[in-house]
Structure 1
Amino acid sequence: MVIRILLFVLALVLAPISTVLAQSSPDLKKLDEISDEALQMVKVKRYDESEKLLEYFSTQFLSMTVEAKFFSMDELRIITVAHNEALVTVQDETISYEKKVNAVTKLRLVTDAVYSNHQPLWTEMEGQIMSTFNQTKIAMKNKDSDGFHSYINRLLNQYDLIYPSLKVDLAPEKIQKLDARMSFIDQYRPQVFSDTTSQKELDALEKDLESIFDEMTEDETDPSLWWVIISTGSIIILTLSYVGWRKYKGDKEEKKSDKELNH
């Protein structure tokens, strides 16, 4: 009887989780795949096909927001902005190939950030970004002003690519801190290039981004799985404790009855 109750309780705990995953994952995965296909089309300069895929993305995205609350308000706004930028950029014949690729890449990364529970695609840019930091420092050491400005521009472009995804995965205060450091470095380039004190802002930005990348990649376990494990374990422990207490009480009552009969 107790085992039946335990199984019933476990079913109640797991059913809502499995239902949510069954309903949301396929739809979010579909958006993720559409954004990836749109990016692949842009990379091979098939802009018309990429445009159609982006329009299809919009249709699917809107239907998801109507049917169920798949997204938070922030996610809704971030994805909408990234999508609009990607679509307008792809449609504009005067915009360069590189900017088209970057615009659709931003949408691809932010869609994946919403879809992925851990290790989103944007974390794979860690190597590129850290390499840019290293090259920037080498340019400063060699007093190479042109190289320094070139690498700062590259760093800003790389940050811009992952920025919408950061807003999905990071707390607002962390974003504000990164924005402040990035704005300082961009606005006061001459000081950063020549002044040791100002260069500390560049070092601080590098450490902040390293910390964020480490934080996003250190735990490979799906958080929802941990929730299930903890919840299920707690129920099992409570149930076994209850069974043990009932058994102890039953044995005690039995011994008491035997003792009274012997008297």
Structure 2
Amino acid sequence: MKLIQFFITLFLFLILVPHPLIAVESPSPINELDDLSDQALQMTKAGRYEEAKHLLVYFSEEFASLSAQQSFSMDELRILTISHNLALESINQTSLALEQKVNAVTKFRLVMDALNSQHQPLWVEMEDPIMEAFNGVKVAAESGNVDEYQTTLNVFLSKYNIIQPSIKLDVPVERAQSLDARITYLDHYRQDVLEGEQTMSELTALETDLQKLFENMTEDEADPSLWWVIISTGSIIVSTLSYVGWRKYKGQGEMKKSERQKN
């Protein structure tokens, strides 16, 4: 019984305490670049533009070194380069408001995370503000309020623009292009869209595409290493219980045999 209690305690300990093999892992070069992009975003949010600029410049130098060792696709290089350049340009423009600078650096930050993340990317966390902004567009369209429609559409487009490059990295080309086509239609024909009969059907179709976009990117966030610990430890416990049961059965058999011999 004490042996069983020991292994159950060990099992709980391994689940609740971080695995030592994971804790000692050193960050990879691409993880360090991901951290740099996050630091640049935090400096931008704090209004510390010079520090953000230095981090972005340092990122460029480090990424050039990494790209010589690790292969990236042409699309990945293009999207990351464009988002990085826009982030740096926004930091250098003194006339831009803080929100515009933050949006530009956030876009770059999400692209870098999309390149680095193995599971659910950060841009998926933009689901609530984007769907909320889109709902404002639908409400304005349903009420026929042109001014409100123009305003809410601009808000939605601004938020979607932040995650658009990251979507292209994580979503199949056909789906990304289809989504872009719907959004481009609403933007280019915004003056006529409220007068057309297909306005609500277009908005409904776009809403469905957006919902599927976020739903399909939601993955099990459990750490694979945790499952490995659970499975391996569980195997040990099952083996131990089987062994203890076998020993108990064998012991009972020997006792019965011994009693028969005495009789």
Q: Flag whether TM exceeds 0.5 (same fold).
A: yes
| TM-score, structure 1 normalization | 0.72
Aligned positions of 1:8-47 closer than 5 A: 26-47=28-49
Equivalent position to 1:63, from 62, 65, 77: 65
Look up the SS of the partner of 2:126 in the other structure: helix
Task: For residue 189 of structure 1, give the secondary structure of its aligned residue in structure 2.
Answer: coil
The whole-number CA distance in structure 2 between the counterparts of 1:167 and 1:214 is: 16
How far apart are residue 222 of structure 1 and its match?
7.7
**Residue 180 of structure 1: how far off its partner (Å):** 0.9
- Cα offset, 1:141, TM superposition: 2.4
2:125 is equivalent to residue 117 of structure 1: no
Number of the residue aligned with 2:128 = 127
How far apart, in 1, do the equivalents of 2:203 and 2:143 lie?
16
Displacement, 1:27? Answer: 1.2
Q: Percent identity between the aligned chains?
A: 47
Contact 2:141–2:200 under 8 Å retained in 1:
no
Calculate the aligned-residue CA RMSD, in Å.
2.4
Structure-2 residue corresponding to 1:81: 82
SS in 2 for 1:190: coil
Equivalences, count: 205
Alignment partners' CA distance in 1, 2:94 and 2:204? 39
Give the CA deviation at 1:95.
Answer: 2.1
Partner of 1:157: 158
Match of 2:188 in 1: 187
Does the 8 Å CA contact 2:119/2:219 hold for their aligned counterparts? no
Q: Which moved more, 1:128-137 or 1:107-116?
A: 128-137
Q: Distance in 1 between matches of 2:197 and 2:122?
A: 34
Report how far residue 221 of structure 1 moved.
6.2
Mark the CA change 1:171 to 1:77 in structure 2 (over 3 Å): closer, same or farther.
same
- Long gaps (5+) in structure 1: 1-21, 229-263
- 8 Å contact from structure 1 (residues 191, 198) kept in 2: no
Q: Is the 8 A contact 1:118 1:221 kept in 2?
A: no
The range that moved more, 105-114 or 25-34, is 25-34
Give distance in 2, aligned partners of 1:198 and 1:142. 12
Counterpart pick for 1:53 among 55, 70, 80:
55
Task: Give the match for residue 253 of structure 1.
Answer: none
Q: Which one-letter code corresponds to 1:201 in the other structure?
A: E
Q: 1:209 maps to what in 2?
A: 210
5+ long unaligned stretches in structure 2: 1-24, 229-263
> In structure 2, what is the equivalent of residue 258 of structure 1?
none
Structure with the largest fraction of helix: 1
Provide runs of 4+ in structure 1 moved above 4 Å. Answer: none
Provide the C-alpha distance between the structure 2 equivalents of 1:159 and 1:81, rounded to a whole number of angstroms: 17
Structure 2 CA distance for aligned equivalents of residues 198 and 168 of structure 1: 30
Deviation at 1:63, TM superposition (A): 0.6
